Every structure is written in C-alpha cells, then in structure tokens.
Chains A and B, each alone.
Chain A
Amino acid sequence: MTSPARTDSASTRRLAIWLPLVLFGGLFALFIHGLMRPASNNVVSAFVGNPLPQFALPPAAADRPGLATSAFHQGKPKLLNIFASWCVPCAAEAPQLAALSQAGVEIDGVAIHDRRDDLTRFLANNGNPYTAIGRDDERVVQIAIGSSGVPETYVIDGRGVIRYQHIGEIRADDVPKLIALLKEAQS
C-alpha cells in the first residue's frame, strides 16, 4: 500500500514531465509571433503634446520667408512638414501636400540640410504648398521636436502645441485623417 502523500508526489512528478514541453511551446509561440509581426523602425516622438521650442530659422527658398515659432501662435492649426529636396519620399508626398493646401490647410516647411538651388528645383518640379520654409542646416529644430528623419509632418494647434506626428510620406488615405486632426486641434 502506498501512503496518500506518496501518490501526491508521484502525480506531481508525472505532471512535471510535461513542463519542459509546455515551456518550449510557449517560447515557440512567442518567437513565431515576434517573427511574423512586421518590424517597425520608426522612432515615435516623445515630444507630442508639448509646445514647439523657440526657434527662428532663416529662409530656405528665395520666394518664401523663414520660419519662427511665432508663426504657430496665430490661433489657427497648421501643418509643420519636415522635408528635404534630396529626400525621395518627400517628392512622393508632394501631391498629397498640394491636396491639403487646396483644402485650405496652411503648411509650413523646415528644409533639412538643403541648398537653395536644389530646393528651388525641387519646388519647381513638385509644387510649393508652403507658406514659409525655414532652413535647418544642423537639424536644430528637427532634434528639438524629436523628429528622426524626413519626411515627417506635425499637426500644430493654434497655440503652438504639437498635437500629432506623422512619420514617413503622407499617402492619399492620410489626407482626410490629417484634415480631421487639424479640425480637432481647432477646439
């Protein structure tokens, strides 16, 4: 006859045999999940919700003024577009910026590491939806708002507070979303 205590430990041991398999299954599922999930390399700005830092950038283009923080304190939400003439996706988002501009959205640009000739050519080829374009040769403004690349587009409310960060080029289906966010920023 076996005592009850001994039967207990024997049944725990029988269950414990399956533990490594369960652990393996769990880890396997975790790794498969990690492999299947599309990797995102985007660095999301932690600065959304903060007011824009103080800056005053000189003009980047011949026919547009430079850009300072005061431009975002006029009571109307705007888009701040970080771009460059050497950036290929920036040319790809040009039609969407034009559509936004036609819908009455005011867009201010910050040109990163750009030359006036290159920028003039870029704007002639792709259109110029910008009210003002600031020249940021040292990415001072870009780093100060937590932007890690071009293009990026920020929704700024009428009091100069960053409301939203869009990473990468604006696609056609992003346009209504941005217009809705701008309307939301108005309140």
Chain B
Amino acid sequence: MKYAIVLALALLCATPVVAQENVPPAPYAYRQLDDPVAEARAKALMVTLRCVMCQSQSIADSDASIAGDMRSEVRVRIARGEDPEHIRQWLIARYGDYVTYSPQVKPLTWPLFAAPVVILALAALLLRGRFRNAGDRDQT
C-alpha cells in the first residue's frame, strides 16, 4: 500500500518525455493522403525506404523525427503525381543506395542477380553429363 502511494505521488511529479522538437511535425508525417490510391502508392514506397536515423527500420515504421519528414516529402511528391521510382532515385542521389531496401541493379550488384542463373546453368550442364553417363551404362 505504502509503495502504491509513493508510486502515485511519483506519477504526479513525472513529466512525460517530450519529443525532441517542439515544432509540429511536417504536414504529412503522421497524416495519410486523402486519396487512398495515392496513399497506397506512397505506403508501398515508404516501406522500402530506410530511415537514416533508426537504420534498421523503414521510414514507414520509424518514429524518428527525420523519418516523419521523409514520409511527408514522399507523400507530397506522390500527391503531386511523381513516379515512386523517381522519388527513390532522388533519395538515392542524396543518401546513396543505403536508403533503399530494394536492391538496385548496378555494375557493382549485377553478379548478385546473375549468380542464380549461372548456378542453374552450371547445374544443368553437370546433370546432363551425369544422365548421359547413366544412359550409356544402361545400354551396355
């Protein structure tokens, strides 16, 4: 009981943790676009963009102040009719490939995309050799 009273008193003088900024967030940081189709396009893009502050979260998930401002930037551009991939490229030009979660095909990354094809082709080649040998043995 005593603890409960102390706790209750502690609650009285506790100040809630204030967000780092006292200024209201950017207009579309926490507000969806009125047009649901545009909002869906913005959302689809936002979940594939990395928050540069909370680096393992997307800007759609992060509550960092800069993520809010990036969301607003994305939504405003989408509402203006800009292509989502164009917005992604605009951000990559500023923060590098690090800002996007969807990998880009570039001179540095194309082996990544080519590897499965090369490995499959190699496997097919090897298997063909094996099957041919097996066929030969059956005939003898």
Interface residues of A (CB under 8 A from B): 41, 43-47, 50, 84, 86, 112-115, 118, 137-140, 142-146, 148-149
Contact = CB atoms under 8 A, between A and B. Distances in A.
Contacts of B73: 138, 140, 143
Interface of B: 20-24, 26-27, 52-53, 55, 65-66, 69-70, 72-73, 92-96, 98-99
30 contacts: A41-B55, A43-B99, A44-B96, A45-B94, A46-B95, A46-B96, A84-B21, A113-B20, A113-B23, A114-B23, A115-B23, A118-B22, A138-B27, A138-B73, A139-B26, A139-B65, A139-B69, A142-B69, A143-B69, A143-B70, A143-B73, A143-B94, A144-B94, A146-B93, A146-B94, A146-B95, A148-B52, A148-B53, A149-B52, A149-B53
B20 A46 contact: no
A120 to B, nearest CB: 14
Contacts of A142: 66, 69
Contacts of B22: 113, 115, 118
A70 B98 CA distance: 31
Given A43-B52, A86-B20, A139-B66, A145 B94 contact: yes
Nearest to B24: A137
Contacts of B70: 139, 143
